[in-house]
């Protein structure tokens, strides 16, 4: 999941040589680095290598919706395709705000519901930090070890999430809530950009993963405990 709000400009002024954090150039941007490091780490645990990918926080979604990386919510085949698709989409995005994690968490819960309660991992790549990426990457150690330590710090968050899911008896349950669909990717076949200022839904995506309507702009504590879904 990729955040695309205007705050990536402000943070980039400090941490990315005054460049937007989504800037595509000769060197990987922070989002590309995170996708690559976490993708390589988690791919060994992914049985089918199919990764549902979504973005949010741009001019088409704001804090109300998410958009799928591919039409009809087609998943990416491995993190390499997810990374490549991210680079294809970025030039067509119009950064905006406000931003909320609630729609992406609800989207992920819908995917778990449709799977019959299979265990998933939700990975949200945003411009805030739960693991201190900057501190780890600034250490005076080999680059390969930096990536290992960052991946380890991130993976250490998973056991507590899994325990919370078991305690809440969420696995195998279907919530029975109404389904909605993710928006199509913000790009058209002719290369022009896509925007959705009225947050309309695409009827062509009805066969895709379910998305639940957001109840509030800020997810509740219990919602955050239910991050049991897909990654990227």
Domain ranges for the chain: 2-224
Band of residue 71 on the pLDDT scale cut at 50, 70, 90: very high
Structural contact between residues 121 and 158, judged by C-beta atoms closer than 8 angstroms? yes
Rounded CA gap, 42 and 49, in Å?
10
Lowest mean pLDDT among 20-29, 63-72, 113-122, 155-164: 155-164
Q: For residues 80 and 200, which has the higher predicted lDDT (pLDDT)? A: 80
As a whole-number percent, the residues of the chain with pLDDT over 90 amount to 11
Q: With cut-offs at 50, 70 and 90, classify the pLDDT of residue 12.
A: very low
Q: What percent of the chain has pLDDT over 70?
A: 55
- Where do we find the tokens 């879904």? 229
Task: Using pLDDT thresholds of 50, 70 and 90, give the confidence band for residue 104.
Answer: confident
Structure confidence by residue, pLDDT tens digits, 218-229: 333 333 333 323
Q: Where does the pLDDT of residue 77 fall: very low under 50, low under 70, confident under 90, or very high at 90 and above?
A: very high
Neighbours of 61 (CB within 10 A): 26
> Are 138 and 25 a contacting pair, CB within 8 Å?
no
Encode pLDDT of 32-65 as tens digits.
Answer: 888 888 888 888 888 888 999 999 888 888 888 8
Alpha-carbon distance of 105 to 214, in angstroms, equals 9
């Amino acid at each position: 999941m990729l955040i695309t709000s205007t705050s990536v400009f402000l943070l980039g002024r400090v941490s990315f040589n005054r460049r937007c954090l989504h800037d595509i150039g000769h060197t990987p941007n922070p989002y590309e680095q995170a996708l690559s490091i976490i993708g390589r780490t988690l791919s060994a645990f992914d049985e089918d290598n199919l990764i549902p990918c979504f973005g949010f926080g741009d001019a088409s979604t704001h804090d109300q919706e998410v958009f799928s990386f591919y039409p009809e919510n087609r998943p990416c085949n491995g993190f390499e395709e997810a990374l490549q698709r991210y680079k294809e989409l970025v030039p067509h995005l119009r950064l905006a705000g406000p931003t909320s994690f609630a729609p992406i968490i609800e989207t992920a819960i819908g995917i778990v519901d449709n799977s019959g309660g299979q265990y998933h991992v939700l990975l949200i790549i945003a411009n805030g930090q739960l693991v201190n990426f900057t501190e780890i990457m600034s250490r005076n150690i080999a680059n390969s070890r930096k990536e290992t330590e960052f991946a380890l710090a991130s993976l250490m968050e998973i056991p507590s999430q899994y325990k919370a899911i078991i305690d809440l008896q969420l696995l195998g349950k279907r919530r029975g809530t109404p389904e909605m669909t993710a928006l199509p990717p913000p790009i058209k076949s002719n290369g022009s950009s896509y925007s959705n200022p009225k947050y309309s839904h695409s009827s062509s995506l009805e066969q895709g993963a379910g998305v639940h309507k957001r109840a509030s702009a800020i997810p509740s504590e219990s919602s955050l405990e239910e991050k049991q879904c897909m990654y990227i």
